[in-house]
Amino acid sequence: MADTEVLLAPQVGPPQVGVQRSLRVYGGLSCNALMAESGSDRSPLHDAAFQGRPLSLRTLLTQGFPADLRSLDGVTALHEACLAGHAPCTRLLLEHGATVEAESSDGATPLLNACRRGSAACVRLLLGRGPAVPTNQLLAGAVHEAAGRGHRECLELLLASGGAVEVALPGCGTPLYAACLGGATACVESLLLAGAEVGGAAGGSSPLHAAVAAGAGPAVELLMAYGADGSARNAEGNTALELAAAAMRTTLGRGPASLAQFCRLSVRRRLGRSRLSSASRLPLPPSLKDFLLPH
């Protein structure tokens, strides 16, 4: 659908009797579209940014809506554009002076939202318009978010801008721990190449413990190759090997594998390791490719 609509000026005064007003919350699910004053719950500016309508957004900004208009929970239109991964709206808001460092009431920044979404385009725009030297506070949460969700391109952009690999956040540990816990092997590799310490712990649990708990075999191999201590114990006194053995016992206790699993292993074995990666180019239904190929 084309990005065209009739825009009404913000209502002044009490609402008309009989007019039903829908309320929206952070995330673009619904909003009070008639409220556009600073300190309101939301505004049409937030809607246009979240829904990716740059023409509407430009019109609203031209009409006088401030680029940093905040909702009651401190959310700006830039937060919304980045959360939805809309780079054109992000660029437009930045051109009109939107604040990169803006924090919502829960401490989220537009940069963190862009990393949550995995939008490298938005991350690149924010880093280009932010402070000349981004602060660790601005980057720290975003680095953890990108690492834990497996958004490698976002992570590498942050690291190139000075994001620290050893900043430990309460309850999250280091970025490497977050990546291991999320089973994000590609991000684990990027962090190790950037010099992340393999022994950093979160609540007594190391990245190796996290990778084992996540069942991320390739990440475990990477950590061991970089010198992770397999004999280190977590707060419960377990080594990573003991955790892996416990997980294996649980798996074995579930009984024999299903017929579907036997078929999958048989086909993968017949293809062989060298040809398995080429299976993605075969004219097969997506569901069958997902079934056969490793994730």
- Locate the domains of the chain by residue range: 1-108, 257-295
pTM here is: 0.70
SS (H, E, C) the chain: CCCCCCCCCCCCCCCCCCCCCCCCCCCCCCCCCCCCCCCCCCCHHHHHHHCCCHHHHHHHHHHCCCCCCECCCCCEHHHHHHHHCCHHHHHHHHHCCCCCCCCCCCCCCHHHHHHHHCCHHHHHHHHHHCCCCCCHHHHHHHHHHHHHHCCHHHHHHHHHCCCCCCCCECCCECHHHHHHHCCCHHHHHHHHHCCCCCCCCECCECHHHHHHHCCCHHHHHHHHHCCCCCCCECCCCCEHHHHHHHHHHHHHCCCCCCHHHHHHHHHHHHHCHHHHHHHHHCCCCHHHHHHHCCC
The pLDDT assigned to 9 comes to: 35
Regions of the chain short of the pLDDT cut 70 = 1-40, 130-138, 200-203, 247-262, 264-266, 268-269, 271-277, 279, 292-295
Could you please state the CATH topology (level 3) that the domain comprising 257-295 is classified under: Elongin C; Chain C, domain 1 (1.10.750)
Query: For the segment 186-203, what is each residue's pLDDT rounded down to a tens digit?
Result: 999 999 999 898 876 666
Q: In this structure, which topology does domain 1-108 adopt according to CATH? A: 1.25.40
